[in-house]
Amino acid sequence: FEFQSGKSIVQYDERMKVYDKQVAKRQASEVSLDGGMDAIDYGNRAAREREMGDTTILNMTSKVSYQECGNQSLHIQFDPTGRYLVLPTVIGIKVIDWSANKCRKVIGKGDASTLRFLGGVMIMGDAKVDKQMHLARTAGMKSTTNSSDKKKEKISDSVLIAMAFNKRRFYVFSHLDPIAEANEKGDSEEQQKAIISRDVLNEPPDSDDLMLDNINGNDAKEAKLGKEAILRTTMGDIHIRLFPDETPRAIENFCGHARSGYYDNVIFHRVIKSFMLQTGDPLGDGTGGESIWGGEFEDEFVRDLRHDRPFTVSMANAGPGTNGSQFFITTVPTPWLDNKHTVFGRVTRGMDICSAIENVKVDELDKPFNEISIVSVDIL
C-alpha cells in the first residue's frame, strides 16, 4: 500500500489454492512445477502448510491467549534499500522487486522440499566505498587508484538468517559457497570437508538422535559404520564410497546386511540401460527385502548428495519412508529422483563393471536372461 493515500499498489497471492491451480495445469501438460516440484513433493508441502496453519501459537497482541494460526509466525520484511520484499513461501524465500512486480530470486529453493522457512533477519555485508570520497582522499595517488580499479569487485558477504517451521535450528544463507569453491578447485577431499562442516548441530539431541548415536545408555557399543564397500559380483568388483556422516541410517542398514551375508548370492533383478542397476532383494523379483531392524525405515535426503552424476548408489523404495534392503546404481544423471531416494554412496572404481552389467540382454521385466549376482560385500 501507498502509506499516505492507503492505495493498493501491488498484490501478491501466496495462498495454496494458487499453487493448486498451477499444479493441476502443469500436470495436464506433464510439466513439473517450479524447480522440478512434482505432485508428490507438492503434496508434502501442502500438508506442511496445513499443519502450520493448525499450529497453536501464543497471541500477545491485546491479551495473552492461544490460537490456531501458525501462519502468523511468518515474517515479511524489506531489504535496507526498500526496493526488495523478502517473502517466505512454499517454494522458498522469494526476493521480490515490488516496483517491477517481479521475483528476482528464490533463496533456499533446494531446501524448501523439506523445510518451510518462516523468514528471518538480514545482515548486510561490507559498506560500499564512496568513490568520490575515495578520490578526494587519495588525490595525487594515481597508481593506487588505477590498481584498485583493476581489481575485481568482491561479492558482498551479506547473509540471511532464517528459521523453519517445526525445526530447532537456524539456517544461514550467503553469497559465499565453500562447496562450489572446492568443486572449482577439483579437490574432492576439500569438497567433502565443506559438506560435512556445513551443518552445525545447534540444538540438544532428541530421542532419535540418542538412539542413532547409541548414547542413551541402552547400548554403549557404537554402531560400526563403514566408509567404503566392495561389491564383489559375478562380473567383477565395484568399489563404493559410503557417506556415514550424511546418511547414518542407510549406511548402518547397508553395512549390517553386508556383514551378515544378507546380500550374498542376491541377483541384479532389474537392469535398465541408460538408467540403473537394481539389486538387494533376496526374493529376486523386486518385492522382497527388509531393513536390519525389520520392516522399513525413513528417508535421509541431503542437499549435497544428489542424483546429479552417473554411478550414484541410492536406496530403492515404494514411496516415502519405505526403505528396506534394495538399492540401485545409476548409470546416468537422474535428477528426477532427488528427494525421493536416499543417496548413500558413489562408485569410485568398477565403472566398467557397471557398464557391462548395464548392457546385458534382459527380458520384458528388465531382468537379465543370464543371472548376475553379488558374491559378497566387503565393508572397509
Q: What is the pLDDT of residues 273-302, one digit of tens each?
A: 999 999 999 999 999 999 999 989 999 999
CA–CA distance, 380 with 374 (Å, rounded to integer): 17
Q: Which residues of 290-329 are buried (b: 16+ CB within 10 A; e: fewer)?
A: bbbeeebbebbbbbbbbbeebbbbbbbbeeeeebbbbbbb
Between 103-112, 120-129, 212-221, the lowest mean confidence (pLDDT) is in: 212-221
- Whether pLDDT at 99 is above 60: yes
12 pLDDT band, cuts 50/70/90, is: confident
74 pLDDT band, cuts 50/70/90, is: confident
pLDDT at 137: 64
pLDDT at 66: 47
Crossing angle, helix 16-28 and helix 39-53, to 10 degrees? 170
Q: Per-residue pLDDT averaged across 166-176, rounded?
A: 81
pLDDT at 147: 47
The grid coordinates listed for 23 are 499444479
Q: When comparing pLDDT for 3 and 285, which is higher?
A: 285
Q: What is the pLDDT of residues 136-161, one digit of tens each?
A: 666 655 544 444 444 445 556 788 88
pLDDT at 280: 97
Q: When comparing pLDDT for 201 and 183, which is higher?
A: 183
- Whether pLDDT at 135 is above 60: yes
Count of residues making up the chain: 380
pLDDT at 302: 93
CA–CA distance, 210 with 317 (Å, rounded to integer): 26
Report the range out of 48-57, 96-105, 331-340 with the highest average pLDDT: 331-340
- Whether pLDDT at 47 is above 60: yes
Q: What is the pLDDT of residues 119-130, one digit of tens each?
A: 878 887 765 666
Q: Which residues are catalytic?
A: 270, 275, 278, 317, 328, 337, 341
Q: Per-residue pLDDT averaged across 190-204, rounded?
A: 64
Sheet with strand 343-349: strands edge to edge: 270-272, 276-279, 327-330, 312-315, 343-349, 236-242, 228-233, 374-379
Closest CA to 60 of 72, 51, 52: 72
pLDDT at 237: 96
CA geometry: angle at 175 spanning 169 and 176, to 5°? 85
pLDDT at 351: 95
DSSP reduced 3-state for 191: helix
φ, ψ for residue 270, nearest 5 deg: -145, 115
DSSP reduced 3-state for 286: coil
CA–CA distance, 30 with 315 (Å, rounded to integer): 26
Q: Show the beta-strand stretches assigned E in 69-116.
A: 77-78, 84-89, 92-97, 102-107
φ, ψ for residue 349, nearest 5 deg: -145, 150
Q: Which residue's C-alpha cell is 566408509?
A: 227
